[in-house]
Amino acid sequence: MTTFGFVRHGVTAWNKEKRAQGSSDIPLDEEGIEMAARVAKRLSSEQWDIICTSPQLRAKQTAEMIAERLPNLPFHSDSRLREVGGGLIEGTTEAERIAKWGESWRELDLGTEPFEEVIARGVDFLEEMKAKYPGKRILVVSHGGFIWRLLGVLIPEREFEKNLQNTSVTVVEVQEDVNLCHLYNCTKHLSSFSRRLPPP
């Protein structure tokens, strides 16, 4: 078995404005950097063997802060871990999308990356990691939309809530028969945050 720890990146200005990010390269804001520092501190007390990250800035910044706390681990950037491409909706809010395309904008072809393509690259990454690092514990720093879709394939018998929190930790044990989710959307490292966290 191989264990994957999925970490969503810290918060960004676009997260707070509820703008679709997708493939747009948005950095962490000040609060996002603090959140990344907190999850890095949390993970430093756990056993992990390798860190893999999406190359997008918000994820890479989060992963680099984790790597500072786990300095002896191999660190890899992998484009297969990027967020779901949002096409024409990137940079827009829900209100802006309705104003531009109407209430039924989700039914239109606006260039969003197809579900099948997202899953194909995600599963390809997982299979490669399982082959290269059998029995290891692999941290994957990525994005909410990507992680949520991949979890639906890894644990099809469970319905996961869609909104993964920023810097949440989800742990899945990938086995030959049935995969096990030991932890989902956990943000205990943010419990003492003095400011109210924004929605995902």
The catalytic residue positions are 9, 83
The helix-helix angle for 144-154 and 115-132 (nearest 10°) equals 70
Tokens found for residue 44: 């430093």
* CA 48/CA 129 separation, integer angstroms: 14
Strand runs labelled E in the chain: 2-8, 50-53, 75-77, 137-142, 169-174, 180-186
Q: How many helices (H) and strands (E) does the chain have?
A: 6, 6
In the sheet that holds 137-142, the strands lie side by side as 75-77, 50-53, 137-142, 2-8, 169-174, 180-186
* CA 187/CA 42 separation, integer angstroms: 10
**HSE, side-chain direction, 13 A CA sphere, residue 94:** 5
